[in-house]
Structure 1
């Protein structure tokens, strides 16, 4: 047999996602490239590893056993690499972070310098909805999570990272001339919501309930990007985090509609399970965030202050 570590990695991701398309996305490869790697790997075994039924990919029992072995081999290879770097005096290991979808606009800036200095650190970053982020934290699958709404059922510790401002926004087709509108304006605008469980939706609904506002709910979408595109297309209005609409505001494609009581304020938090036993990598990252967050906010997010 002449399978490669790359083939083992590709096959393992395929078994985890049960999809060539999803595996390609996670590996940042094209679908044909993933299919070729799977075929080349399969050719080295007389027993099928996968099968396709009704256009769905399934992993055979034999394939599942090979996936377990592949994961064990890859973990050993990572351990060898980490031990080599540690022996040379470099920080090495995995840093695992789960991030709510809107957090993708900020977390890279808090990782960039840390990863540049510590090139032996391997990052696993999962960007998903709030419910899955909290679930990954609860199951201790990650070192840290980035959220704007704290989970109330978990014992956690946290660092308040930076403020999160949410504004009522629309596209540039309609003109709003008043310097500030009453909150009753929301009753006349068709609003686009995030899906249930989203942190943005939680903050939005809390504001609506606190102010006893009648709301005309237009539609519900499953990502901030989908909401933004719907607003750009003129399908409605929404309450969105400022952090995710910088380019659209700069180019005049979106506008902030001035309403009394806005922006709605929340806070981005880095959280972890109380009493968690940190790895050297996780401990180093926490120290880095504590020491450098003010500088990063000033350098990368100073533009927020003009709104």
Structure 2
């Protein structure tokens, strides 16, 4: 079998997108050229690598094997390029970074500062829910991930780099808005809007109730922070969210942060990677960048006296 490196690049893009047009756009190729590479690869392999069912494309079993090999070879080639650049005092290459949806509120600021320091680095950012981010990390599709809790039992390690306070949000006209030192028992009488199972915010919220022997009265289950904020503003229930997601809503008075005993829940943001993975030069530099400057690039938050709104430090 004599496959070229370019053919493996084309196949990896098609396998990742399962869409010829999007793969062609990413590779700056025409769609017929991408299709031609795929036909040549199937002729060399002697097996179909992609099959079409209706309008959707799927990898065959052979295609899945080729995808794994292609990804491994591309990663090794990129790592070689980065290490050679490092030998001449440069940081150059690609960083594959996945972040949970809550982290999208600050991740672009971090990446902007990192890119200004290392303009030769090409960052590929993927934003998704926690479950998908973990799947991508386990499959080695991204080198690093940013999330609010390090998963247990999947061979990863995490480095904390920034506080992530979780607060209780309510509509501004809620009876508890402005109240001081609200007891958890009173708080538990309310209906809550929840993220999907497995969400780090939801897990922290469930743990808060379980630690106090309280039941969580769940209402709607919503799949994004934005939808939850809209539900809170509409009076559908209370929720627990990262303070980093609420800058605009607090500034415009659309939501109130409640003073509940035990809150804010003090958590951290973590940069996570596979424990056994040898990180690239770019990933090593990104981790060092987060450790040195990550927290300082996001405006810190301090909390006022009991009964007052959390105040941003100026």
Give yes or no for TM over 0.5.
yes
Unaligned runs of 5+ in 1: 1-7, 29-33
Partner of 1:159: 159
1:146 aligns with 2:173: no
CA RMSD of aligned residues (A): 4.2
**Which residue of 2 is the match for residue 280 of structure 1?**
281
The 1:76–1:265 alpha-carbon spacing in structure 2 relative to 1, beyond 3 Å, is closer
In 2, Cα distance between equivalents of 1:251 and 1:18: 42
For residue 149 of structure 2, give the secondary structure of its aligned residue in structure 1.
Answer: coil
1:170 paired residue number: 170
Q: Is the 8 A contact 1:100 1:146 kept in 2?
A: yes
- The aligned runs of 1:95-244 (5 Å cut-off) are 95-175=95-175, 176-244=177-245
* CA distance 1:124–1:234, shift in 2 (3 Å): same
| Offset of residue 268 of structure 1 | 1.1
- Tell me the TM-score normalised to structure 2 length: 0.72
Given that 2:163 and 2:295 are in contact with CA atoms closer than 8 Å, whether structure 1 keeps it comes out as no
**Cα distance in structure 2, aligned partners of 1:290 and 1:76:** 26
Offset from partner CA, 1:127-178 (integer Å, 9 cap, x none): 2222232333333333222121121113443321111111111223434342
Q: Which residue of 1 aligns with 2:299?
A: 301
Shift of 1:111: 2.2
- Alpha-carbon distance between aligned partners in 1 of 2:268 and 2:73, rounded to the nearest angstrom: 41
Shift of 1:215: 2.4
- Deviation (angstroms), 1:96: 1.7
SS class of match (1:122): strand
Q: TM-score, normalised by structure 1?
A: 0.74
Specify the SS of the correspondent of 2:277. Answer: coil
Residue correspondences, number? 292
Answer yes or no: is the 8 Å Cα contact 1:186–1:215 preserved in 2.
no
Is contact 1:85–1:120 with CA below 8 Å preserved after alignment?
no
Aligned to 2:90: 90
SS in 1 for 2:299: helix
SS of 2:219's partner is: strand
Inter-partner Cα distance in structure 1 for 2:277 and 2:262: 39
The alignment partner of 1:200 has SS state of helix
Gaps of 5+ in 2: 1-7, 40-48, 304-310
Counterparts of 2:58 and 2:179, CA distance in 1: 58
Structure 1 position 263, deviation (Å):
1.0
Q: Distance in 2 between matches of 1:80 and 1:155?
A: 25
Shift of 1:81: 8.6
